[in-house]
Amino acid sequence: MLFTQPTLSYISVGTYSLTALLLCVAFVAAAGCFSLPGSLDRIKPMALVIGFAAALLVMTYTGVFLQSMKSIALWNSPWLIALFFLSALSTGIALVMLCSISLNLDRTKTGILQRLAKTDLVVIVLEFAACAVYLITVSGTSLGAQSVKRLIAGDNALVFMAGFVVCGLAVPGIMNAVSARKQHDERIDLAIACLVLLGGFCLRLSLFDARIHSSM
């Protein structure tokens, strides 16, 4: 229905952005695996640009959509958008690292993975800071404070604190910092990637479950 009866909404923007991203990814992947005609090969730079723009929208729209729901205090903060954006960036890097481990990488690609790991460390630090500021801002209201309590010490603490904060931020951050000082090890990359992906899932699950509707 989002395609046959489109509306001017965040969900529609997200749907079209995700579709455009998938089409661009499929085209670029096909161009990398097969020999395409010259006319199609020349479209590749355009597909990369459109795919990049679509990816930014996909990374952003979920936070914008949830933040627009004023009746849910836990989501009513612009810092939620920043948190979801950084989480998407971190899990995206983790997915690239995870998929690359099974390939025979030359030294150039190994260097790229090392730079990705260092970039992920910076993103994790920013994500931790954004999460802290986000929780502080939403705690300014009574319902927001109740939701934050559920995340930190309530029924959602296991998923949020253990799954996201510890497994998704603290442990991968420490492992990235230690790995940066030693020789590159794919086993560490594998562990970091899996933990970051688990943390990204736990973040979204806990923020959804801890919501409290107001009487608006």
pLDDT, tens digit, for every residue of 189-207?
A: 889 999 999 999 999 999 9
Residue 101 has pLDDT above 60, yes or no: yes
d(CA 43, CA 201): 35
Give pLDDT tens digits for 2-54: 788 878 888 888 899 999 999 999 988 888 777 777 777 788 889 999 999 99
Of the pLDDT bands very low, low, confident and very high (cuts 50, 70, 90), residue 103 is low
Compute the distance between CA of residue 25 and CA of residue 52 in angstroms, rounded to an integer. 10
Mean pLDDT of 120-147: 94
Per-residue confidence (pLDDT) for residue 147, from 0 to 100: 94
Mean model confidence pLDDT for the chain: 88
Query: What pLDDT was estimated at residue 151?
Result: 95
- Cβ count near 51 (within 10 Å): 19
Output the DSSP codes for 12-71: HHHHHHHHHHHHHHHHHHHHHHS---HHHHTTHHHHHHHHHHHHHHHHHHHHHHHHT-TT
Sorted by where each begins, the domain ranges of the chain are 1-68, 73-216
Q: Return the pLDDT at 179.
A: 75
pTM: 0.87
Provide the token pair at 167.
Answer: 């497994």
